[in-house]
C-alpha cells in the first residue's frame, strides 16, 4: 500500500527488459517517492524482477497479474489497486514481429496489434475516467522511433507503433483539459534478451512462399545491417528507464521523447521533405546500394562515439 505522498505507478510488461528496469529504477528511488505496481501476464516469470528489486520488493514494489489483451484481466487488475488510484500509468507491454510480410499470417499480425495497440487502449480506457475525476495523472506510452519512421522488414510492428502514436496524439489534446499529461517514450534499438532471441530465430527460419530474392535481402542484407546498427547505436534497458524517470519527474513533460540523440537526424529526414521521397530513397540506397559503406560507417561510429553520447538520454 502506498504511503502518504507517494505516487502510485502501474507498469505493464515487467517480467524482463525495459519494463523490469523501469519498475526497479522507480522502486529504488532514493526519496521513496513511488509505490510501484509491476504487472506481468504470468507471475511465474517474476523471479528476475524480484531479484533485481532486492529489498524494495514488498515495500515500494508489489506485483499483480495483468494481460493487456484481456478486458477482464485489465479491469480486475485496476480493481485490485486501492481506490483504483493510479497517478502514473506506464504502458510498456509489447511484442515484436520481424520478417518478409508474405510469410506473416494475418493472425500473427492481429496478435501484434492486440498487444501493442489495443493493449494500450484498454489500459488508458480503464484508468482515464478515474484520472479525469481527480483531474490529475500522467500516462506514459513506450513507443519507438518506428512509430515515427518506417523500417523495412518491420512492416507490421511499425504499423502498430504508428497506430499508437496517432491514437495518443489525439488523446493528448483532450486529456490536457483534465490536467492529465500523456508522454511517448521513443527508443531506437535497445539491447534486450527479447531482441537477441528474435534476431537469432528469424535468421534460422526458411520463409516458405517468399521469393528467393526477398529472403536473401532479408538474411544477407537487412539482418547484418541491423546488427551493425544495434552495436553502434543501441541503448540498454537502464538507459530507457532513466529517460522515463526524467519524463515523469518533469514539471512540464514533453509529449514526444526520443531517447537516443543519434536518431534525431534519421527521424528528421521524414519531415524535411513532405513528399516522403527523401527518407524512402535514402534508406533504400543505404540498405541496397551502399550496404558496405553503411557497415564501415557504423563500425567507425561504434569506435568513435563514446558510450556517454551513444546512450545519452533527453
Annotated binding site for NADP(+): 13-41, 67, 161
Q: Which residues pair with 74 in a beta bridge?
A: none
Strands (E), the chain: 7-11, 34-40, 61-65, 88-91, 137-142, 180-186, 256-258
Looking at 157, 222, 263, 284, which residue is catalytic? 157
Could you confirm whether 271 is annotated as catalytic? Answer: no
Nearest to 22 by CA among 239, 223, 268, 277: 239
Q: Dump the DSSP string for 225-294.
A: HHHHHHHHH-B-HHHHHHHHHHHHH-SS--SEEES-GGGHHHHHHHHH-TTSHHHHHHHHIIIIISHHHH
User: Contact at 8 Å (CB) between 169 and 126?
Assistant: no
Residue ranges of the binding site for substrate? 144
Dist CA 83 CA 300 (whole Å): 54
- What is each CA distance from 156 to 88, 163, 263, 264, in whole angstroms? 29, 11, 21, 23
CA triplet 229, 235, 241: central angle to 5 degrees? 155
With a CB cutoff of 8 Å and minimum separation 6, the contacts of 216 are: none
Q: Which residue's entry shows cell 490529475?
A: 136
CA triplet 245, 249, 253: central angle to 5 degrees? 100
Q: Which residue's entry shows cell 567507425?
A: 300
- The three-class DSSP label of residue 9 is strand
Q: Which residues are identified as catalytic?
A: 157
Amino acid at each position: 500500500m502506498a504511503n502518504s505522498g507517494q505516487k502510485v505507478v502501474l507498469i505493464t510488461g515487467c517480467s524482463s527488459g525495459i519494463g523490469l528496469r523501469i519498475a526497479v529504477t522507480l522502486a529504488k528511488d532514493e526519496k521513496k517517492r513511488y509505490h510501484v505496481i509491476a504487472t506481468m501476464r504470468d507471475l511465474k516469470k517474476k523471479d528476475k524482477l524480484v531479484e533485481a528489486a532486492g529489498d524494495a520488493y514488498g515495500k515500494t514494489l508489489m506485483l499483480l497479474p495483468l494481460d493487456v489483451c484481456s478486458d477482464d484481466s485489465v479491469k480486475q487488475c485496476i480493481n485490485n489497486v486501492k481506490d483504483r488510484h493510479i497517478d502514473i500509468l506506464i504502458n510498456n507491454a509489447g511484442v515484436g514481429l520481424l520478417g518478409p510480410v508474405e510469410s506473416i499470417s494475418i493472425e500473427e499480425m492481429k496478435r501484434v496489434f492486440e498487444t501493442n495497440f489495443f493493449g494500450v487502449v484498454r489500459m488508458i480506457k480503464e484508468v482515464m475516467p478515474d484520472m479525469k475525476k481527480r483531474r490529475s495523472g500522467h500516462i506514459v506510452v513506450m513507443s519507438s522511433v518506428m512509430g515515427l519512421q518506417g523500417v523495412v522488414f518491420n512492416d507490421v510492428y511499425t504499423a502498430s507503433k504508428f497506430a499508437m502514436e496517432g491514437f495518443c496524439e489525439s488523446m493528448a489534446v483532450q486529456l490536457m483539459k483534465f490536467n492529465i499529461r500523456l508522454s511517448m517514450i521513443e527508443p531506437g534499438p535497445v539491447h534486450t534478451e527479447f531482441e537477441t532471441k528474435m534476431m537469432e530465430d528469424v535468421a534460422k527460419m526458411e520463409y516458405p512462399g517468399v521469393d528467393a530474392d526477398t529472403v536473401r535481402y532479408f538474411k544477407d542484407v537487412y539482418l547484418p545491417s541491423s546488427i551493425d546498427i544495434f552495436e553502434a547505436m543501441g541503448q540498454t534497458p537502464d538507459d530507457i528507464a532513466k529517460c522515463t524517470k526524467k519524463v515523469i519527474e518533469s514539471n512540464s513533460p514533453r509529449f514526444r521523447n526520443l531517447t537516443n540523440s543519434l536518431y534525431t537526424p534519421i527521424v528528421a529526414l521524414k519531415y524535411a521533405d513532405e513528399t516522403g521521397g527523401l527518407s524512402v530513397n535514402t534508406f533504400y540506397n543505404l540498405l541496397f546500394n551502399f550496404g558496405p559503406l553503411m557497415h564501415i560507417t557504423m563500425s567507425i561510429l561504434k569506435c568513435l562515439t563514446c558510450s556517454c553520447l551513444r546512450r545519452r538520454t533527453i
